[in-house]
A and B are shown apart, each in its own frame.
Chain A
Amino acid sequence: MTAAPYDGSTAPSAGAPARRGRTFALTAALSAALLVGCLLSAGLGAYDIPLGDVLSSLQHRVGLGGQALDRVAESVLWNVRLPRVTLALLVGSSLGCAGALMQGVFGNPLAEPGVIGISSGAAVGAVASIALGLTFFGNWTITVCAFVSGLATVLLVYVLSRSGGRTEVVTLILTGIAVNAFAGALIGLFIFFADNAQITQITFWQLGSLSQATWPKVLAVLPCAALGLLVAPFHARKLDLLALGERPARHLGVDVERLRIVLVLVVALLTAAAVAVAGIISFVGLLVPHLLRMANGPGHRFLVPGSALGGALVLVAGDLAARTVADPAELPLGVLTALFGSPFFFWLLRRTRRRQGGWA
């Protein structure tokens, strides 16, 4: 083994200011892109509203001048578009953030709510609540059910896929297959026992679409998503340490058990928030953290909030594409993300396998 020649340019902490600059630039670019995406998405569609009108109406509502639009435009903007954009923001940031957290907790870059079955698990709860006509929490019933079954699934996958403080890729993926299959069977059972109206509702929901967005739906997932998104960044530094492994993280003062419990709860919250309204939208939680890790390194202090931002951007843009590319028809959003996400996942699998020199 030979040490790399010391060339002076790699003195300690020389990279730190440059990295901070890059983090800042990336955050600014993501935020700007997200803002533009939201405004475009609010304006474009079957009924076009010019950007100036969108801004003017927004200003009017918050009481900063501007003016209300005519009745149709105002109604389209506030009752159809904006709830949809808000929902895309919430669902996207939840999925992106959940992906980053799960990869950190499992110490495995292939962990993602969709891939390892957490989304399906949450879906079981959601479908059950629709099929059984449950209403005990009113508007929040589907979300609560999705949370409970999602939480049970994360715990199950965690227990099944870890041994000796590590998660092997193969075990994780195989566990995901088993969990997805079981959840699929349960969902099938519920559909079998549901009546026609419920089946229609379940089918729409399952396609992974935001087309049913309304303000009450936004309200139904807001508490879950907001709580999860607020709690997550506070554990970023500990997630960095967890990358060393469980014992070394404990040696550095991390209460690993507690961290794990908190983060598993947060992941369940975020996944439930996303799944309850939008069905299973896979690969966002996989794609976004990966791209950000490539762009700015694996530090979770940027990665966790950055993935929320990136996820929101992907979903807002994805939803805009879903309802405009095949105009007047609308593509299901889940289909679109899977279409782009799956090849990426495949590439990632190949790369991981090559690095490890096989799976065995």
Chain B
Amino acid sequence: MNPFKALLAPRRRELPFPVPAGSTAAEAAGVGVRLGGRPVLDSVDLTVRAGEVLALVGPNGAGKSTLLAALAADLPVDSGEIRVDGRPATRWTAAELALRRAVLPQSAALAFPFPVEDVVRMGRAPWAGTAREDEDDTVVAAAMAATEVTGFATRPFSALSGGERARVALARALAQSAPLLLLDEPTAALDLRHQELVLRICRERAAAGDAVVVVLHDLGLAAAYADRAVVLHGGRVAVDGPPAEVFTGALLGEVYRQPVEVFPHPRTGVPLVVPKRLA
């Protein structure tokens, strides 16, 4: 890094250290959040561990996105505490938090027509002025290849379809190389192939030692790819555990107010969740 850049670099930041798999990457302790006077989360306890894919599932309005936003330190919590990398989220600076957690928002917007590659490269901004700045090109290229957006690297973001935008936004979040990855419905706009692709990426990141929290609507995807599933219901954690144990017809039927059938896949044994339909 040249000395002039070093001079202009942001003030000294505490860089994150790699942590062993299974250690706590982030946690919510008795978190309550009220939005517009209405309680959205009510004393939620949640531990996010390194090396693990954690699926947040639940019906609309259960508080999934709010919990994710609270973990991302986007929202002030009204009670309890969010801890990221061992320290209360409010005690990190924005720059230090950016080295520790990456967030994929539900919808990706862009005010100006930046080309796709520039958008992905924005994910590297937190590392500017650190030793890992030198990895920028490799990391950006890898993130674009992983999400299959390399083919339209030079096209403006505004000219992309919804699904393409979603993948570019994911590539940006991946390029941030943070040990905690928070994804809000990353599969919502995607076709079958890319849904699978995204969750495979989640698994790879977890295998590499990162903690991945992903909000999902598709219970089948959650069952197939998550190490742990947390079912939210009315702003509380209804159940927390491996999908094969917690996805039961009785529980899901009650939470979703829709009778479901859960049965193992004939070949893999992964639970399949299907709404009960007539005939």
Contact = CB atoms under 8 A, between A and B. Distances in A.
A168 interface: no
Contact of A298 (B113, B144, B164, B191): B113
A4 B150 contact: no
Given A108-B111, A298-B112, A3 B152 contact: yes
B125 A107 contact: no
Contacts of A193: none
Q: Which of A241, A250, A254, A298 has the largest number of chain B CB atoms within 10 A?
A: A298
A3 B111 CA distance: 23
A1 interface: yes
Interface residues of B, number: 50
A12 B136 CA distance: 12
Interface residues of A, number: 38
A1 B122 contact: no
Contact of B141 (A7, A12, A255): A12
A25 interface: no
Contacts of A15: 115, 117, 153-154
B94 A250 contact: yes
A240 B111 CA distance: 9
Contacts of B98: 251-253
Interface in A217-249: 234, 237, 240-245, 247-248
B109 interface: yes
Contact of B154 (A10, A107, A108, A255): A10
Interface stretch (B100-108, B203-211, B242-250): B100-108
A199 B95 CA distance: 52
Contacts of A242: 111
B161 interface: yes
Contacts of A45: none
28 contacts: A1-B161, A3-B148, A3-B151, A3-B152, A3-B164, A4-B152, A6-B151, A11-B153, A12-B137, A13-B117, A13-B141, A16-B117, A109-B112, A240-B118, A243-B111, A244-B108, A244-B109, A244-B111, A248-B103, A250-B74, A250-B94, A251-B98, A252-B98, A252-B123, A253-B96, A253-B126, A298-B113, A299-B114
Interface of B: 8, 10, 72, 74, 93-99, 101-103, 105, 108-115, 117-119, 122-123, 125-126, 128, 137, 140-141, 144, 148, 150-155, 158, 161-164, 172, 176, 191
